[in-house]
Amino acid sequence: MRAQDYLTVAQAAARRGVSRQTIYSAIYSGRLVADSVLGKHALRPADVDALVIYPRSQERKGVAMPGGRGRPGGVSSETPRAVSRRRRAS
């Protein structure tokens, strides 16, 4: 692939409508593959388009998240704050 066939982190974030930090998090967690070109991350457009991004609000509501917190399988029916309040009340 030629250099113009790749996206920068900023371009990938704009393309997906998320922050640059979200893209960096996906790279460092291994959910998004990045090549290194002149010391910078270079992303394939197809990989960026295929990336599944979960809104944080879903995690808080107990929606099944791969590798999420809580019970095995990543399903948490209570938020950490609710668990803490329940423990203090008993």
Mean pLDDT along residues 56-81: 52
Burial class from Cβ neighbours inside 10 Å (0-12, 13-18, 19+) for residue 30 reads exposed
Residue numbers of the domain that contains 69: 56-89
Distance CA 17, CA 30 (A): 20
Would you state the pLDDT for residue 4?
A: 73
Q: Domain total for the chain?
A: 2
Instruction: Kindly report which listed range (25-29, 43-47, 56-60) carries the lowest average pLDDT score.
Output: 56-60
Same domain, 40 and 63: no
Please tell me the predicted confidence (pLDDT) of residue 77: 54
Q: Which has more pLDDT, 9 or 80?
A: 9
What does pTM read for this prediction?
Answer: 0.58
Read off the CATH number of the domain in which 34 is found.
Answer: 1.10.10
Please say if the pLDDT value at position 10 is more than 60.
yes
